[in-house]
Every structure is written in structure tokens, then in C-alpha cells.
Amino acid sequence: MPKRVSGSVLVTGASVPERYLNQLRAAGLNVVNPSASFPPDILPESELQGLLADCDAYLLGGDEIASRSVLAAAPRLKVIAFLGVGYASFVDAAAAADLGIPITNTPGVLANSVAEFAVGELLAARRRIVDYAVDPRLSQEKCRDLSGHPVGVVGLGAIGTRVSEILTNGFGAQVHYFSRSRKPRIETSLGLTYLPLPKMVDQVEAIILTVPDTPETVCMISKDLIAVRRSPLTVINLGRPEVISPRALEWGLRNDRIESVWFDDYYRDDEAGVTELRKDPRVKVTPHIASLTHDARDAMSAMAVASLLNILHSGTDPHIVISDAY
């Protein structure tokens, strides 16, 4: 039986299911949960400031921004539990560090949902499932199995590892990977081959991009990389769109170096008419849904609630984020 805590917790967004709110209530907290619509409205700064003023804890599940001035006006705040991984776009981490408010996040829990989605897109691409389902009269072409065929996984974090597991253990595909650092244990256990990125892009039939948002991954897939291809490449991008250089995309489609490309979100800024390419039937765009499962969202809620209560109880938690701000 955990110690009881007291005070109020602000829960934003609409993805935390009622049973996790009840866990917070059962621990002794008063739950303030202003938005129940889905997708929820984004809280304006003034409203967030008012809501947080009396709160001891903050489960950040919405798309609002917890700025320095918001945090500075929340004298009782002891923890920000961020629902997701990329907290830095939503919380001023430097301000939280200055104010001594720990931030937690929920790493790893999305990996399986995102990996399953990626494999679904890969199969849809290879077997033209979307194209035929839309128009069964399409001219028929022989496709290719996954079993025994070379597929490249770029990035071998939790998502890339799970994708590799499904492709090797389930389908018997031949998985090559590229990652900033080699991962010998995963290589051995799954039978993966490490290849430098240019060599991998040259040798595989499809690549699955699972790289994080860092300055190094911007335009990681360049025109030079795909120009060497002798046959069109299938590209599944689970990261932000900018991992693929807009110029490479435009050139690759025009010169048949790209067979199809799958984005789970699309470029916000138009560059060289790249927004127009969205109309190309080889460009498939889904609305940032790779992690939108009950499974992932429940696991995120469970982890965020546990971290939040841990910090209120004991001041510490394994998921406190290590930030440059500290």
C-alpha cells in the first residue's frame, strides 16, 4: 500500500483513461482535468497558469506549452510528468531545472505500436494493399515477399529493435541496420548485419527510418544516397518528415529511385514544391498515428502516473529526464 499524498494534480489532454485518473485519486490527490474532448483544445498560457497555480503535480498530456512564466507562477509544483518522450517541445526544461521541478517522461512504451505500424506500412507498400483496395482494376504486377529479402532499419533504438525482431523472427527477412553506434548484442541475437548508411541504401529493397529528432538526422536521406540506386526503393519514415531531404524526395520520385514513400506526418514548410508531391500516388501520408493505440497510451499513462506518485512520495524516479539544462 503506497503512502498517501495530498494536494492537486493537473492532468491535460484527453488520452489519460479514467482508470489512471482514479489511481491518482486513490493516492489522495484532487484531479483537475479540464479537457475531455478528443482531440482536446490546446490550453492557452493564461488558463494553464491559473490551473497550475495551486497544483502540486502536473501530468502533461496535452499540446500546451509550459513556459518559464507558467512554471514560475506555480509555487507548489513538485513534478511534471510528461506523457510521451519529446518533453523539450512542451516544457521549458531550463526553467524547470532552475525552479527545481523534476520532469519525467515515458520512454520505450510506444515502441511496439510504432513498430507494428511500420511493418504494416512495409507490407502495404510491398503488396500494394492501399493501391489495390482503392482501385481493384489496377494493372497487376508481381510483388515480392519479405521472407529472405533484404530490408534496412535505420536507427536501432527501442522502435528499430522491435521492427527488426518482427522482420527476422516473424517474416525471416534479412535485416541490415545502420545506427550511430553498433549494437553487437542485438546483432547477434537477431542475426542483423551492420552496414554504413550508403551501402545499406544501395543493397536493400526497403528502408525503415526510426531515428530521433536531432540536428544530425535532418536530411539524413539525401539525394546522393538514393542516386546510386539501380531499382526503386521503398521508404517508410517513422521519424519527422525532415529526415528525408525534400530535394531527395522530389528527385527520387522524378527519377524512379523511390518506389513509394510513407510519412506519418508531412513537411510543414514547402520547399521546392514538395507539398505538391503529396498528390503523387507513391507518396502516402498518415496523420501521426503510429503510436495511437490503446496499448501504447495505456502504458504511457501507467508510467506517467507511477513516476508522478513516486516523486511526490520519495522525490525520485527512474524516468526523470537527463537534460542539458541540469
The residue ranges that bind a copy of itself (CB under 8 A) are 38-39, 112-113, 116-117, 119-121, 123-124, 126-130, 132-134, 136-138, 140-148, 165-167, 169-171, 284-287, 289, 292-297
Is the CB of 88 or the CB of 302 nearer to a copy of itself? 302
Place of cell 508531391: 277
State the residue for C-alpha cell 553487437.
184
Q: How far is the CB of 131 from a copy of itself (least distance, A)?
A: 9
- CB within 8 A of 299, min separation 6: which ones? 106, 109
- In the complex, the smallest distance separating the C-beta of residue 116 from a copy of itself, rounded to whole angstroms, is 6
**Shortest distance, position 171 Cβ to a copy of itself, whole Å:** 6
Pick the closer one to a copy of itself by CB: 80 or 238.
Answer: 238
Check: CB of residue 313 under 8 Å from CB of residue 3.
yes
Q: CB under 8 Å to 276, separation ≥6 — which residues?
A: none
Quick one: how far is CA 29 from the chain centroid? 30
DSSP string, 29-50: PEEE----SSSPPPPPHHHHHH
CB of residue 109 vs a copy of itself: minimum separation in angstroms?
Answer: 11
To which residue does cell 519529446 refer? 86
Instruction: Specify the residue, 116 or 213, whose C-beta has the smaller distance to a copy of itself.
Output: 116
Q: Looking at beta carbons only, is 9 or 119 nearer to a copy of itself? A: 119
Nearer to a copy of itself, 207 or 236 (CB): 236
Tell me how far, at minimum, the Cβ of 129 lies from a copy of itself, in Å. 5
Question: Cell numbers 537527463 correspond to what residue?
Answer: 322
Q: How far is the CB of 15 from a copy of itself (least distance, A)?
A: 8
Task: Name the minimum Å distance from CB 218 to a copy of itself.
Answer: 23
Dist. CA 166–CA 101, nearest whole Å: 39
Between 149 and 223, name the residue whose CB sits nearer to a copy of itself. 149
Burial 51-70 (b: 16+ CB within 10 A, else e): bbeebbbbbbbbebbbbeeb
Cβ distance to a copy of itself smaller for residue 240 or 284: 284
How many alpha carbons lie under 13 Å from residue 267 in its C-beta half-sphere? 21
**Which H or E element spans position 159?**
helix 158-165
The closest of 55, 50, 52, 47 to 29, measured between CA atoms, is: 55
- Smaller CB distance to a copy of itself: residue 26 or 123? 123
What single-letter amino acid sits at 59?
L
Distance CA 304, CA 21 (A): 11
Least spacing, CB of residue 143 vs a copy of itself, in Å: 5
| Helix (H/G/I), strand (E/B), else coil: 190 | helix
